[in-house]
Structure 1
Amino acid sequence: MLMQSQLDPLPRDLPFRIVSETIGRGAYASIKKAIPPKATNPVFAVKFIHKAYAVKHGRISAKQLAMEVSLHSHIGQHPNIIEWFATGEDQIWKWIAMEYAEGGDLFDKIEADVGVSEDIAHFYFSQMISAVSYMHSKGVGHRDIKPENILLSDTGNLKIADFGLATLFEYNGKTKLSTTMCGSPPYIAPEVITCSRSTQSRNAPKSPGYSANLADIWSCGVVLFVLLVGNTPWDEPTAASWEFEEYNGKRGHSTDDLWQRLPKSVLSLLRGMMNTETSQRFSFQQIKAHPWYTRKNALLTPDGKITDQLSLATRMLEGLHIDFSQQPVASQRLSQNQDAMDVDSNQPPRFSFTQPEAPIHDVTFDFERPPRANLASFSASQPINSKTARPLSGNAFDSLADEPSMSQFAPTPSVPFSLTQHARRFRDIVPNYSLTRFFSHLSSNLLLQLISDALHQLNVPVPPVTQMQLQNHAGWIKVKTIDGRHCSLHGDIVVDTYVTGEVELFEVRFVKIKGDPLEWRRFFKDVVILCKDGVYIPGGS
Structure 2
Amino acid sequence: MSSSRSGGGGGGGSGSKTRVGRYELGRTLGEGNFAKVKFARNVETKENVAIKILDKENVLKHKMIGQIKREISTMKLIRHPNVVRMYEVMASKTKIYIVLQFVTGGELFDKIASKGRLKEDEARKYFQQLICAVDYCHSRGVYHRDLKPENLLMDANGILKVSDFGLSALPQQVREDGLLHTTCGTPNYVAPEVINNKGYDGAKADLWSCGVILFVLMAGYLPFEEANLMALYKKIFKADFTCPPWFSSSAKKLIKRILDPNPSTRITIAELIENEWFKKGYKPPAFEQANVSLDDVNSIFNESVDSRNLVVERREEGFIGPMAPVTMNAFELISTSQGLNLSSLFEKQMLSLSFTTMNSRDFLFIWKIGAC
Do both proteins adopt the same fold according to a TM-score greater than 0.5, normalized to the shorter chain?
yes
Secondary structure class of the residue paired with 2:135: helix
Match of 1:163 in 2: 165
**How many residues align structurally?**
295
1:266 aligned partner: 251
Task: Give the letter for the 2:39 counterpart.
Answer: K
Deviation of the 1:248 alpha carbon: 4.5
- 267, 283, 302: which is aligned to 1:282? 267
Work out the CA distance in 2 between the residues paired with 1:42 and 1:369. 11
- Does the CA contact (< 8 Å) of 2:38 and 2:51 recur in 1? yes
How far, CA to CA, are the matches of 1:108 and 1:370 in structure 2? 19
Displacement of 1:247: 6.3
Distance in 2 between residues matched to 1:238 and 1:285, nearest whole Å: 35
The question of whether the paired residues in 1 share the 8 Å contact of 2:181 and 2:200 is answered with: yes
Change (3 A) 1:160 1:247: closer
Which digits, 9 at most, give the CA deviation of each residue in 1:220-248, with x for residues without a partner? 11111111011111247997235x64564
Counting only pairs closer than 5 Å after superposition, residues 509-520 of structure 1 correspond to structure 2 as none
Note the alpha carbon deviations across 1:12-43, whole angstroms, 9 max, x for none: 744312223226x788544332111456x210
> Does 1:303 pair with 2:280?
no
Q: Report the TM-score when normalising by structure 2.
A: 0.67
Q: Which residue of 2 aligns with 1:254?
A: 241
- Structure 1 residue runs of 5 or longer lacking an equivalent are 3-10, 196-206, 306-367, 377-431, 434-477, 491-513, 517-541
Structure 2, unmatched stretches of 5+, are: 3-17, 287-322, 334-347, 364-372
Give the secondary structure class of the aligned counterpart of 2:153. Answer: strand
- Partner SS for 1:80: coil
Measure, in 2, the Cα distance between the counterparts of 1:52 and 1:481.
35
Distance 1:119 1:12, change over 3 A: same
Residues 217 and 186 from structure 1, CA distance in 2 versus in 1: closer, same or farther, beyond 3 angstroms? same
Distance change in 2, residues 1:93/1:481 (3 Å)? farther
Is the CA contact (8 Å cut-off) linking 1:185 and 1:236 kept in structure 2? no
Identity of aligned residues (%): 31
Does 2:79 align with 1:72? no
Q: Which residue of the partner structure matches residue 25 of structure 2?
A: 18
Give the Å deviation of 1:263: 2.5
Which one of 201, 206, 213 corresponds to residue 216 of structure 1? 206
Cα distance in 1 for partners of 2:54, 2:183 equals: 21
**Does structure 1 retain, via aligned residues, the 8 Å contact 2:123–2:214?**
yes
Query: Shift of the alpha carbon at 1:97?
Result: 0.8
Q: Is 2:193 the counterpart of 1:191? A: yes
Residues 137 and 238 (structure 1 numbering): CA distance in 2 closer, same or farther, change over 3 Å?
Answer: farther
TM-score (normalizing by structure 1): 0.48
Query: What one-letter code is carried by the residue in structure 1 that aligns with 2:53?
Result: F
**Please, which of 199, 224, 228 is the counterpart of residue 234 of structure 1?**
224
Q: For residues 169-196 of structure 1, what are the alpha-carbon distances to aligned partners after superposition, in whole Å with 9 as ceiling and x for unaligned?
A: 3799x8842222322121122222222x
Check the 8 A contact 2:84/2:100 in 1, yes or no.
yes
C-alpha spacing 1:35/1:232, structure 2 compared with 1 (3 Å)? same
CA distance in 2 between counterparts of 1:226 and 1:21 reads 34
After superposition, where does 1:114-513 map in structure 2 within 5 Å?
114-169=116-171, 176-195=178-197, 207=198, 209-235=199-225, 240-241=230-231, 245-246=234-235, 248-249=237-238, 252=239, 254-255=241-242, 259-295=244-280, 297=281, 302-304=283-285, 371-372=326-327, 484-486=354-356, 488-489=358-359
Q: Indicate the RMSD between aligned Cα atoms, in angstroms.
A: 3.8
Task: Tell me, yes or no, if the aligned pair for 1:116 and 1:230 is still in contact at 8 Å.
Answer: yes
**Is the alpha carbon distance of 1:36 and 1:109 closer, same or farther for their aligned partners in structure 2, counting shifts above 3 Å?**
same
Counterpart selection for 2:37 from 20, 31, 34: 31
Equivalent pair of 2:28/2:36 in contact (CA under 8 Å): no
Q: Which residue of 1 aligns with 2:14?
A: none
> Secondary structure of the residue that 1:186 maps to in structure 2?
helix
Taking the aligned partners of 1:284 and 1:112, their CA distance within structure 2 comes to 30
Distance 1:71 1:190 in 2: 25
Give a deviation string over 1:252-299, Cα, whole Å, max 9, x none: 4634xx54443321122212222211112221111112221122x4xx
Task: Give the direction of change, closer, same or farther, for the CA distance of 1:486–1:248 in structure 2 (3 Å limit).
Answer: same
Distance 1:487 1:70, change over 3 A: farther
Contact 1:186 1:237 in 2 (8 A): no
Q: Is residue 110 from structure 1 mapped to residue 112 from structure 2 by the alignment?
A: yes
In structure 1, what is the Cα distance between the partners aligned to 2:227 and 2:259?
10
Report how far residue 143 of structure 1 moved: 1.2
Q: Secondary structure at the match of 1:18?
A: strand
Task: Output the CA distance in 1 between the equivalents of 2:53 and 2:253.
Answer: 42
Give, in whole Å, the separation in 1 of the partners of 2:226 and 2:272.
Answer: 23
Match of 2:27, SS state, is: strand
Larger Rg: 1
Change (3 A) 1:124 1:12: same
**1:481/1:35 Cα in 2 relative to 1: closer, same or farther (>3 Å)?**
closer
Highest relative contact order (Cα 8 Å, sep 6+), 1 or 2? 2
2 CA distance for matches of 1:235 and 1:125? 21
